[in-house]
Amino acid sequence: MREILGRRRRLLLMRGRGGRSALLGMALICATEWQWPVLPGVGLRSGGGRAGRDCACPHPDCEVPGAHPFDPGILGATTDRRMVRWWWTNRPTAPLVLATGGSAPCAVSLPAVAGAQALTALDRLGVRLGPVVATPTRWALLVAPYSLPQLGELLHSRSWVPSSLRFHGQGGYLILPPSRTGAGRVRWERAPQPVATPPWLPEVETVVDALVEASTGTPDSGSRLAY
């Protein structure tokens, strides 16, 4: 009974709408149960002049408001329970940032419309997918960790890769639900199962062709699509 209640509690935290307990709970699941290094994002300035879209960083023309690390930087990501709890106790609405690569998942992101098309195509082919993160502008498929040489070889074998397709590997990051950024709410399009073991992840080569095809012809309006 205790295990069932624990799973239900984790599921509620993962489906949270961005509340304080939901952000801290998801951060603790990532860091302590799945061993994914996380850190708080910079977040949005309270009472921002553009409908709450002003980034809390000192750059007035921030391209990805609220959706990036600031202090600490990406190298400060950790799996330490005490540090994670301290961060979100002091900044309870801070976005949840996953440091990608290494032992943590990598990701491939693409515009939201193309992402929906890609998932339909992959489902039709019977490809097993892992978690999928969605924002109003972009979707990101979490994949197994890959190295830069592995990614380079994979992309070199293709005649063309759309610029709207972005890769989040070693040294990169991804905003996870239930965060809120200047682009809007971050949610799970395909949520991970609320279990203690890390979510299953596909290899990048099993999904990249469908992502390339879906992204072909999708306009890339610049770095505002990055996250």
- What pLDDT digit, counting tens, does each position of 120-162 carry? 999 999 999 999 999 999 999 999 999 989 998 988 888 888 8
How many domains are there within the chain?
1
Model pLDDT, residue 195: 75
pLDDT bin (cut points 50, 70, 90) of residue 27 is very high
Q: With beta carbons less than 8 A apart as the criterion, state whether 143 and 107 touch.
A: yes
Q: Is the pLDDT of residue 1 over 90?
A: no
- Starting at the earlier edge strand, list the strands of the sheet with 96-99: 38-40, 96-99, 173-176
- Domain span at residue 67? 2-225
The whole-model pTM stands at 0.85
Average pLDDT over residues 55-62: 91
Q: What does the pLDDT read at residue 225? A: 38
- Where does residue 58 rank: exposed (0-12), middle (13-18), buried (19+ CB within 10 A)? exposed
Average pLDDT across the chain, whole number:
86
93: buried, middle or exposed (CB in 10 Å: 19+, 13-18, 0-12)?
A: middle
Place of tokens 């515009």: 111
- pLDDT bracket for residue 50 (50, 70, 90): low
Could you read off the pLDDT of 68-112 as tens digits, one per residue? 999 899 999 999 999 999 999 999 999 999 999 999 999 999 999
Question: pLDDT: is 225 or 78 the higher one?
Answer: 78
